Amino acid sequence: MKRERPLSAVVSEELPPEVAEARLRLLADVSRALASGLDAEESLRRLARLVVPQLADACVVDVVEGRGVRRLTATDRDAERALRVLPGGLLPGPDDSACALAKVLRGAGPVVVTDIDAPAPDDPLRAAQRTLYRTLGARSALIVPMRVRRQQLGALTFVRRAASAPFDEQEQALAADLGHRAALALDNARLYALQQHTAEQLQLSLLPDLTGLAHLQLAARYLAARERAEVGGDWYDAFPLPDGSAILAIGDVVGHDLAAAVRMGQLRNMLRALAYDSGDDPAGVMRRLDAVMQGLTSIELVTAVIARVETPAGGPWRLTWTNAGHLPPLLAQPDGRTLLLEEGHAPVLGVDPALARGTATVVLPPGATLLLYTDGLIERPGEDIGHGLTRLRQHAAALAREPLAVFRDELLTRLTDDQHDDVAVLALRIP
């Protein structure tokens, strides 16, 4: 992240003490506002509210968007005037304009505008600025760039209505520093958003495509944590075996970063190869996965459920599963009964590959829904896990007769309103 200049860098020692103190306080308040969150646009709105009326009668924030300019916000000591400036509109780009805003966006330093009523023939951006000045009753304006790394991100426009109060050199330096700080906040937020988008796309690309299991009615979803907006090691999978059965799996690799997402992808690929080639039951596959994971990777601790679904044409569907330290799968029946599949439980992967692991079996009733999920769906900070499991069973019972996609979406909506962790879910509807 880029750093700001010292607060005192633009406050001259020649100023009266009370003025210097007020400007230092303004810079400190603006710095706190810009650093208070990763929503840069909301931070810029706070900046505009802070500088009015201390530095100007009105403040307008414009950001570059593509080849145009978007008016983000306008703040005025007269609230009715501010309401007349409609934010969000895309103004013409600065390339072909001669107005002061265009000059600033093309690289000029702070520009003071005094020819407020100058005509604007064939210059749409200048015409828009003239309308803005008239709406705000401007007699003079100071426009400073939001520029970082030689990139123009936008501009701040400070408006005064008194003709006798021009912006002096000290005020121009102060406004330019505000523009610099705003640019840093906006650029950092955009870089963070780009990094997170890239990370989330990577994780989503590592999750499986379930279209190869057309004979099974499946619904899955991955949600990144809201608070951290980080990727992590939550994963699910579903794939066919040579004998016609299918493997369903879900798990959680320790960590909330790109490394965890990459380890998750490694683990899922190893599971596919071992399950498809070995012919073992789920417990045998889990033991092999544990041994390979500890022998060939740096992955440390993993919770997982591996389940095999048998779908014979002439008999009931059957589920065989093993659990390595993960939350128990849930079976929700159309009559509202729910069952936590707590058998077949053993320690997490990464402790001892020689540990005994058992396999459990259950008949899947027609119309029932099998749900595999990670802990982010039910866990809440400071709450006993039992409360989360009870909440899950109640909502699953209420939704058990809904179409599978509705079951999944409603369950996520009801249980992730206060989401603190990544969530992965995989649901199977028995016909």
- pLDDT, one tens digit per residue, over 82-110 is 888 877 777 888 888 889 999 999 998 89
Question: CA 11: distance to chain centroid?
Answer: 38
Q: Identify the band that residue 230 occupies on the pLDDT scale cut at 50, 70 and 90.
A: low
pLDDT in tens, 355-391: 999 999 999 999 999 999 999 999 888 889 999 999 9
Q: What is the DSSP string of 27-64?
A: HHHHHHHHHS-S-HHHHHHHHHHHHTTTT-SEEEEEEE
pLDDT in tens, 177-196: 999 999 998 888 888 878 77
Q: Identify the band that residue 257 occupies on the pLDDT scale cut at 50, 70 and 90.
A: low
Domain end residue (candidates: 177, 197, 217): 197
How many independent structural domains does the chain possess?
Answer: 2
d(CA 249, CA 207): 12
User: Contact 226/259 with Cβ under 8 angstroms?
Assistant: no
Q: Note whether 349 and 280 are same-domain residues.
A: yes
Residue 230 in any domain: the answer is: yes
pLDDT in tens, 42-70: 888 889 999 998 889 999 999 998 888 99
Q: Both tokens of residue 292?
A: 């390979």
Average pLDDT score over the chain: 87
CB proximity list for 318: less than 8 A, separation 6 or greater = 309, 310, 312, 361, 362, 363, 364
d(CA 296, CA 321): 25
Half-sphere exposure (Cβ direction) of 30: Cα atoms closer than 13 Å:
30
Q: Note whether 242 and 176 are same-domain residues.
A: no
Secondary structure (3-state) at 290:
helix
Q: Identify the band that residue 234 occupies on the pLDDT scale cut at 50, 70 and 90.
A: confident
Residue 261 in any domain: the answer is: yes
Domain that holds residue 306: 207-429
Q: Note whether 136 and 241 are same-domain residues.
A: no
Domain end residue (candidates: 178, 197, 216): 197
Residue 97 in any domain: the answer is: yes
Whole-model pTM: value is 0.64
Pick the closest to residue 219 from 192, 202, 238, 204 (CA basis): 238
Residue 202 in any domain: the answer is: no
What percent of the chain is predicted at pLDDT more than 70? 91
In the DSSP assignment, the letter for residue 409 is H
pLDDT in tens, 120-176: 678 889 888 999 999 999 999 999 999 998 889 999 999 999 877 788 888 999 999
Q: Is pLDDT larger for residue 199 or for residue 343?
A: 343
Q: Note whether 236 and 150 are same-domain residues.
A: no
Q: Both tokens of residue 202?
A: 């990577």
Domain end residue (candidates: 155, 176, 197): 197
d(CA 380, CA 385): 8
Q: Note whether 230 and 123 are same-domain residues.
A: no
* pLDDT above 90: residue 254: no
